[in-house]
Structure formats: structure tokens, C-alpha cells
Chain A
């Protein structure tokens, strides 16, 4: 319970960054924090007491295993996060080349 709340607090920190920061780099970093928090929350839901990772092996006694379904979904989500981060960075670089600033209020002002 307290672990869930701490993870949710991490998500809210990311949300705070997205909502209040005016710097494009800080906004990209906050989006990264949001992604970490969501992935970690899903894996926290999957944990089971006194259990092992879901990999079968010969000679190993099969005990309880953790929930493998969220792990499978988060595995691909992490990779996609890297792709979207790269795309955001590319957009930020292009905006910097055009306006020579990372401040979003100034980017809005300089139209055309």
C-alpha cells in the first residue's frame, strides 16, 4: 500500500514538471519520469510474496511465480519509450535551431 503511494507520488512529480516547467528539456525529462513511474506501478501490481521470477529451469523446484503478464507488457513499453524520447529530442533540437531558445513561452511568441 505505502509502496503504491510512493510510486504514485513519483508519477505526480513528473506531472508537476510537465505542467509548470517552461523549459523544453525539463519537460522531456518529466515525461521520462512519468513513464518510469507508470512502468514501476504495473510491476508493483504484479509482485507476489515469496515467489520467484517466471523462468522455468531443469532441476529447479517449481514454486510460486510472480505475475508474468504485466512484465511482458512493460517490456515492450520500455523500448517504445526510448523511441518516443528520441523523437521528442529531435523535435527539441529542430525548435532550438529555428528559435535558438528552449523556453516555450518565447517559442510561442516567435511565430512564422
Chain B
């Protein structure tokens, strides 16, 4: 089964959904459109023969949508007023990004074509992974054995991010403190 037409279709849907997510005014619709993009990524991982990644991406997407909806839905949300400076800025940005896209075509021509990767290090892992590590899943043999120090570093980054999240959420903001003090004074 040819993979490329399917991927082109999914990627087109994802580009449309991401543009919709950025341009829609209702914030709940934006978050749902981001969910569409993430599930498209998960589907393309399935087509690209990466089932582990598809499962992880699916879970990530659901968690991300839950976090975003929980965090932003009840906030009273002010629409941004359109201004001329902002429109000029957006136009300049679009032109610059289009120029980058056109110049990038020659860069992507230098890369190996789709479907024929450079398999210099990876071929060793495929041939000797089961013998060296005893893992049937070669992806986990790389994550937990060949590149275990990378994984350790990435787990450290994850730990720092979660620690930062809890630290930020514990700090009481100044205006809220003042408000509670005012409430106490009123009583």
C-alpha cells in the first residue's frame, strides 16, 4: 500500500486545522482544532510504522486537550482588537515565512528522498539489538540501553518542568492576596 498519498492527505488536513486553530475567535474551538492536529500526528505515526509513538502521541493529545480546556475555559476571554500595526506585522511575517519556504525547497532536495533513509548507525541496532540487549522491541532497546544517558537527561528535564509547574502554581499572586485582604477588612 503506498503511504505517501495518505500522508499528503493527513498533512493537508493538519495544516488546515492548525490555521483554523490560530484564526478562530472562540477559544474552545481552537483547542479542539489543536486536538485534530495532534490526532493527525498520531495517525501519521501509524502509517509510518511507529506504533509505540502513535500510542504515546494519542495519550499526550488527550492529556493536553484536558489540561488546556480545564485551564482556559472558565476564564472570561477578551477578543483581541484588530489594529493596523498588527495587520502590517502579520503581512510582513507571512511574506518572510513564504520566502523561507521557497528557499527551503532546495535544502530538502539535498536530503535523502522519502523512503530511503541513511541507515548507518541504525542498521547496527537492527542487526545486533536483540543479541546485545535481549529486547524484542528495538525502540525500547535503544531508549533504555544504547541511549540510556540521553533518556536520563530527558527524564531530568521532565522532572524539572513538573517541579516548575507546581512551584508556579503554589505562588499566590499579589492582586489576589490584596483582594482577600480587602475581603477580610470588609468583614
Chain A interface residues (CB < 8 Å from chain B): 1-10, 12-17, 19-23, 25-26, 28-30, 32-33, 36, 39-40, 43-49, 51-57, 65-69, 71-87, 89-94, 96-103
Contacts and interface: CB of A to CB of B under 8 A. Distances in A.
Contact of B15 (A6, A17, A83, A99): A6
B185 to A, nearest CB: 20
A5 B100 CA distance: 11
Classify the interface of chain B: helix, strand, loop or mixed: helix
Contact of A83 (B104, B111, B130, B161): B161
B5 to A, nearest CB: 10
B150 interface: yes
Interface of B: 3-4, 7-8, 11-12, 14-15, 18-19, 21-22, 27, 30-31, 34, 37-38, 41, 44-45, 48-53, 56-57, 60, 63-64, 67-68, 71-72, 75, 77-78, 80, 86, 89-90, 93-94, 97, 100-101, 104-105, 108-109, 111-117, 119, 121-122, 125-126, 129-130, 136-140, 142-143, 147, 150-151, 154-155, 157-158, 161-162, 164-165, 168-169, 171, 173-176
A33 B34 CA distance: 8
A112 B56 CA distance: 41
B48 to A, nearest CB: 5
Q: Which of B49, B60, B116, B151 has the most CB of A within 10 A?
A: B49
B60 A43 contact: no
Contacts of A4: 108, 111, 114
B22 A67 contact: no
Contacts of B113: 1
A47 B114 contact: yes
